[in-house]
Structure 1
C-alpha cells in the first residue's frame, strides 16, 4: 500500500546497491514493463512500493540475489515502465505480475513485496495462487482498519500538490519514459489509497506460505499483523508435537515504515530460511 509521506522520505534515504543486474523490457497488458535480473537459484520476484523503483529498493535486491534468481520489476507508471489508460489497483498490479511471468516463461516463483508491492503480492497469492511458491510481504495490510490511526487521519489531506517540486517528482522524471506523466501517476496513487481494502475472507482461504514482515512502528499496526497471521493459520503454540504452521510473522524492533528496507542484512536473515522452508529446531524436534 501507499505510505505517501514516508515513501518520500525513503527516496532520500536509500542508497542504491546492485550487483550488475541485466536490464530488460517486456510487453505486459499494453505497457512496456522494465525489469532487471540478477543472481542464480530459484526464481524470486521483487515488487517495490509506491513512487519507488528498483534502485530505491536498495541493498535487499543484491542480498537476495546471493541465493535466488531475482526478477525485480517496475510496476505500472513507475520507474522505466510505461503507464497505460487504466487505474492502478492492487488487483491490476497482481495481474500484471502474472502476465510478466507468462511473458518471460516463469511457471512459478516466490514473491517479495514491500508496501504497495506487498499488497500487490497478497493479491497475487489470492488471484494467482498456482504461480506463487512462497510470499514475503513487508508492511502489508488486508484491511484498511489495520492502518495506524495517524495514517487514517492523514489520508483526507492527501492531494497532488503535496508532491510538486519534491525529490519524489525529481526521481520520477529521471527515469520515466514520459517525464510529464507524474501528475497522472499521483492521481492514480491517491485514488488507490481510497480503494476499498477488506480482504479478510480471501486471506482466510490462502494456503500459500506467507512471511509477514513489518516494523513495530510501521503503518499497519502490530495487532493487524498478528490478526493476519492467525487468519493464515499461524500464531498457534509450538512444542506440542505437531509441525508449526507454514506462515510466519516477524516484527522488527524500533523500526518505522521507511526504516524497514534500510535493514537488508536483517531482512535477508529472516527471508532466507523461510524461502528454503527451514524451521528453527526446538528441544522437542
Structure 2
C-alpha cells in the first residue's frame, strides 16, 4: 500500500502552501521569525499545571526557564528538561508552551523548558553549551523550583531541541551531573542532516520542512558536520540513557531518526521507537490545528511513562 498523508494533515499543508511559511528559507532571520510566530495558537488554559518563569546565569549569559508543575504530590520525582525545536534559529518558551503543558500534565512530571541562545546571533556551540549548563544547574536546583527532591533528569526535545537533548545526554554520561539522566525523549530529531537519505530526497519539498529551509538553518547554525556536539552518529552511544524516539512518516529527517534509534539499540541502549504514520515534521506542535495528532501524542506519553517505570 502506498503511504498516504492523513486528510487533516493534507488540509493543513494546503493552508501552509499558500502562506509565506512555505518559503521560510527565502527570508531574513527577523522576517522568518515573525512569519513563524504567526502560526502560534492563543495561549492555552494551563488547567491544573502551575506555570512560572525564572532564569539562571552561566558563563554564556542569562538563560530563561519556564517551569511546569503538574501538582503531583511526590516528595521525590524525576525532572523533565525540554529543549524546543526551530532549527537552532527560531523558537522560544512561548512557541512550545502548548506542548510543554501537554507533556507535563500527561507524564505527570515537573518540566522545565530552556530558552537556549539562538543562531545566527549565537552560533554553535552556544546552544549545546546552554543546554548542558541548564541540565547541570537543574540537577542541583530543581528541588528548589518544585519543592521536591529531583531523583534524575529526563532530557527531551523536538527536532533541533532533540539534537540538544541527545548531545546533553552524552555530555552528562561522560561527566555526570548532580543527579543521573534517567531517559531521553527525542521527537523527530535532527541527527546529522544526511542529504543522501531516501526520506530527505522524497520528503524535502511540499511537506512543511523543506531542503531549502534545512540548508538555511544549517548555514546559520554553523556547526561542524562531524562534531559529536552536533552529529549524533559521531559519538559513542554506549552509556546513553533509555530512549523514546519518535519520527514522522513524511519528514525529511525520518530516516536519520530511524538510523539513530538503530545505532542506540546496537550499543545496548533500551530504545522505544514510534513512527507517526501519515504525518509531517513538527507534528506534535501542530496538535491544536491537526486534531488526529492527539492520539500520537498520547501514545508517546504512555510509552515514556512505561520507559520511566
The alignment partner of 2:185 has SS state of strand
Residues 71 and 156 of structure 1, relative CA distance in 2, 3 Å threshold: closer
Give unpaired runs (5+ residues) of structure 2: 1-21, 26-31, 73-77, 143-149, 288-292
Alignment equivalent of 1:139, drawn from 175, 185, 188 = 188
1:231 corresponds in structure 2 to 263
Moved more, 109-118 or 200-209: 200-209
Aligned length, in residue pairs? 235
Q: Is contact 1:14–1:262 with CA below 8 Å preserved after alignment?
A: no
Give unpaired runs (5+ residues) of structure 1: 159-185, 235-243, 280-285
Is 1:257 the counterpart of 2:281? The answer is yes
The alignment partner of 1:217 has SS state of coil
CA drift at 1:110: 0.5
1:71 corresponds in structure 2 to 112
Instruction: Within 5 Å, give how 1:102-251 maps onto structure 2.
Output: 102=139, 104-105=141-142, 108-129=152-173, 130=176, 131-145=180-194, 148-149=200-201, 150=204, 153-154=211-212, 158=216, 190-192=219-221, 194-197=223-226, 198-202=231-235, 204-221=237-254, 223-233=255-265, 246-251=270-275
RMSD: 3.6
Residues 192 and 4 of structure 1, relative CA distance in 2, 3 Å threshold: farther
Q: Is contact 1:64–1:268 with CA below 8 Å preserved after alignment?
A: no
Q: Is contact 2:80–2:153 with CA below 8 Å preserved after alignment?
A: yes
Residues 84 and 103 of structure 1, relative CA distance in 2, 3 Å threshold: farther
Moved more, 147-156 or 225-234: 147-156
Cα deviations by residue, 1:102-134 (Å, 9 ceiling, x for unpaired): 562456210220111110001011111344211
State the distance in 1 between where 2:211 and 2:99 align: 31
The alignment partner of 1:35 has SS state of strand
